[in-house]
Amino acid sequence: MPTVPFAPDVFTWPADEPQLIGSRCGVCAAVTFPEQPSCPRCGSVEMARRLFPRRGTLIAWTTQEFLPKAPYAGGETQETFKPFGVGLVQLGDEIRVEGRLTESDPEKLHSGGEVELTIIPFREDGDTQVVTFAFKPV
Ligand SMILES: [Zn+2]
């Protein structure tokens, strides 16, 4: 089954070692995720594409215990939904990114722990597997 990202230009794909895609302002050095055409801090359009480190530190996390409302576009239904973790991850010294976690067991998650970017199934569109990014404890 072919796989496509849930949105373009969020992470490098296809890739053996995918990375999140952001941007960095050439004027004030502000860093954004996802990529933006102009700087949210100073308004400059001198934004350069930036690939973030694959590994980071879990700063804080929680668990999503119920099926999120729209615009969430995952493939689960009320019947198939399983709780998942959501974490705030520090990537390098540049940026903090909120993302889904592959783990929702509080025993296996702790603030300060190392996590790595991974790509997981999100939903199926016909015969295409839509994928999204997540962080897994390492
Ligand atoms: Zn700027």
DSSP code of residue 97: E
Model confidence, pTM: 0.92
Largest distance between two CA atoms of the chain: 49
Determine the Cα–Cα distance for residues 114 and 102; give it in Å rounded to an integer.
13
Distance 22 CA to ligand 1 centre (A): 14
Distance 68 CA to ligand 1 centre (A): 33
- Can you give the residue ranges of every domain in the chain? 54-137
Instruction: State the 10-residue block means of pLDDT for the chain, 138 residues long.
Output: 93 96 97 97 98 97 92 91 95 94 92 96 95 96
Distance of CA 49 to the CA centre of its chain: 16
Q: In the structure encoding, which two tokens stand for residue 45, read together? A: 């359009």
Determine the Cα–Cα distance for residues 83 and 81; give it in Å rounded to an integer.
7
Backbone angles phi, psi at 106, to 5 degrees: -55, -25
Distance 71 CA to ligand 1 centre (A): 29
